[in-house]
Structure 1
Amino acid sequence: MSANDKNDWNPETYARFRGLRLRPALDLLAQVGDLPDGEVVDLGCGDGAVAGALAARFADRALRGVDNSQAMLAKAGALGIYRSVEVRDIAEWWPAEPPALIFSNAALQWLPDHAALMPKLAGYLAPGGMLAVQMPRQFKAPSHRFLRDLAGSMFSDRFDFSHETSPCAKAEECHAMLSPLGTVEAWETEYVQRLEPDTAMHPVRAFTQATAMRPIAEKLNAAELAAFCAAYDTTLSAAYPLQPDGAVLFPFKRVFFTLKV
């Protein structure tokens, strides 16, 4: 990540790990059952990574993509799969008509107050519709904890994470929160991801720089960012040692739920 690409999502950097990021979405999609009439909304669609799978599964329905990144939506729109793509802050989004499915893959972890957000999204659905959500639960993992620890120690004038808590609840907590609204399935999966060697950086930084590292990087100038990346690579090497070929095994936990109203 450089100072030039830190202000918006970088589709090329994000897409480097498309296969690893797509697999949880396909696992979530496999749990979506019968739906009423209505559209399918890909909420936080990014560059359209899930568009092909959603369109194949729901070929007879309009598919709409919503995201707040113009760079990512440009890629998504160019696929020619979505009926429309909409630049919106997903925290403030609402549909014109009740959709049959709101599908959100690795997006809602960026938003606070899930106890209010999820019922609001569920309320937009057509009767019998479904909310299907997948989010990373890496808050306490070294890959994400080191980001907060280093930023707070190196740039204490800009970062204080001492009161920050995980944005994503455990699966059982999601189930308890949503069960009054309908039929819930909730689960967690830890994927052991093999990250290929990277000559420019630790492979885990190559993965996180497109997502979890962005809120920190956008507040640093080029020299500060270079120093931060060097320190992050060093700490990552202790937690995620390189394999003989330079690759890394990177456990990554995700939480899933479906809510049928």
Structure 2
Amino acid sequence: MPNLQDPQQPQVPWDSAQYLRFGGERLRPALDLMLHLPLPAPAHILDFGCGAGNLTALLQQRWPEAEVLGVDGSEDMLAKARTTVPHGRFIQADLNHWMPEHKLDLIYTNATLQWLPDHAQLFPRLLSFLNPGGCLAVQMPVMHDAPLRLAQVELARSPAYAEVLGDVSERRNVLDMGGYHDLLRPRVASLDIWQTTYLHVLKGEDPVLEWASGSSLRPYLEKMKGEQLQAFRADYAHRMHLAYPPRSDGSTLLPFQRMFIMATLPG
């Protein structure tokens, strides 16, 4: 995963075990993105924000003759990736500034770009990495207006936590679908954009807290420790319990919306 905050702020460490706790639920949209890839035989593939390497392995299995490179900002994630794909090629880098050594045929980026700022500059930069006819395939969560994310920002700005968490970015980086259409349509030969809401059926105690602790909650959790950290977790868990109450069978339903973008260059 990339740096989680603005480039000027310190990188937030990732916990691969916590992220993969809901590996099945996080894998499904990644596979949906992969199923829509339009290229028959890309030779040079980039898994941008490769995380623990699960998808790097699948890309390599789908195109065994291709050169597949995984790039990520987290050494913890890359350590897991090197175990998942022992013969894979992985690079640790700041995704805000990294550039490939040569042009690519496919950039596959799953649940990564929402962490990076200034998409009006980011997306054209990624397109510039592609060969003619190359494809940029993107999946990003679209949850900024959902209780899952709103509660994080509200708690961080509250008097109890503002002194420690007040400088954590809200990371409202994702545009709406029309914004990406206007940005990408003049630059590409074909463009497909859609959104899907997945209904995750979660089990266990405080499952929404545990889900968020592996992704969007990490920039907040990493800034605290001790009693303050425990209090924040308890406050967030209480809000999630109210927003996503347990069902009669004890499960918790988490509607999770994601945006997909498939942009292919001329040629």
**TM-score, with length taken from structure 1:** 0.91
One of 167, 173, 176 as aligned partner of 1:167: 173
CA distance in 1, matches of 2:12, 2:167: 21
Deviation, structure 1 residue 82: 5.6
Is it true that 1:16 corresponds to 2:8 in the alignment?
A: no
Summarize the alignment of residues 217-228 of structure 1 with structure 2, pairs less than 5 Å apart.
217-228=221-232
Aligned partner of 1:204 in structure 2 is: 208
Matches of 2:140 and 2:179 in 1, distance apart?
14
2:42, 2:63 within 8 Å by CA — same for their partners in 1? no
* CA drift at 1:250: 0.2
Deviation readout 1:171-223 (Å, 9 max, x if unpaired): 2321221111102111111111111123xxx1101100011111111111221
Aligned-residue offset at 1:170: 1.8
Provide the secondary structure at the position in 2 that maps to 1:100: strand
Q: 2:259 corresponds to which letter in structure 1? A: V
Residue identity (%): 36
Name the counterpart of 2:4.
Answer: none
> 1:155 maps to which residue?
161
Deviates more, 1:243-252 or 1:35-44: 35-44
Structure-1 residue corresponding to 2:114: 109
Q: Contact (CA 8 Å) 2:45, 2:104: kept in 1 or not?
A: yes
What's the TM-score, normalizing by structure 2?
A: 0.89
Picking from 191, 196, 199, the partner of 2:198 is: 191
CA-atom RMSD in angstroms: 1.9
1:230 aligns with 2:234: yes
Amino acid at match of 1:225: L
Alignment pair present for 1:136 and 2:136 = no
Distance 1:27 1:161 in 2: 35
The alpha carbon displacement at 1:115 in A equals 0.6
- SS, match of residue 128 in structure 1: strand
In structure 1, the gaps of 5 or more residues are 1-5
Q: Do the aligned partners of 1:152 and 1:161 also contact (CA within 8 Å) in 2? A: no
Distance 2:183 2:12 in 1: 34
Contact 2:12 2:219 in 1 (8 A): no
Q: How far apart in 2 are the matches of 1:204 and 1:156? A: 22
Asked if structure 1 preserves the Cα contact closer than 8 Å seen for 2:192 and 2:261, the reply is: yes
Query: CA separation in 2, counterparts of 1:179 and 1:9?
Result: 34
Cα drift, residue 118 of structure 1:
0.4
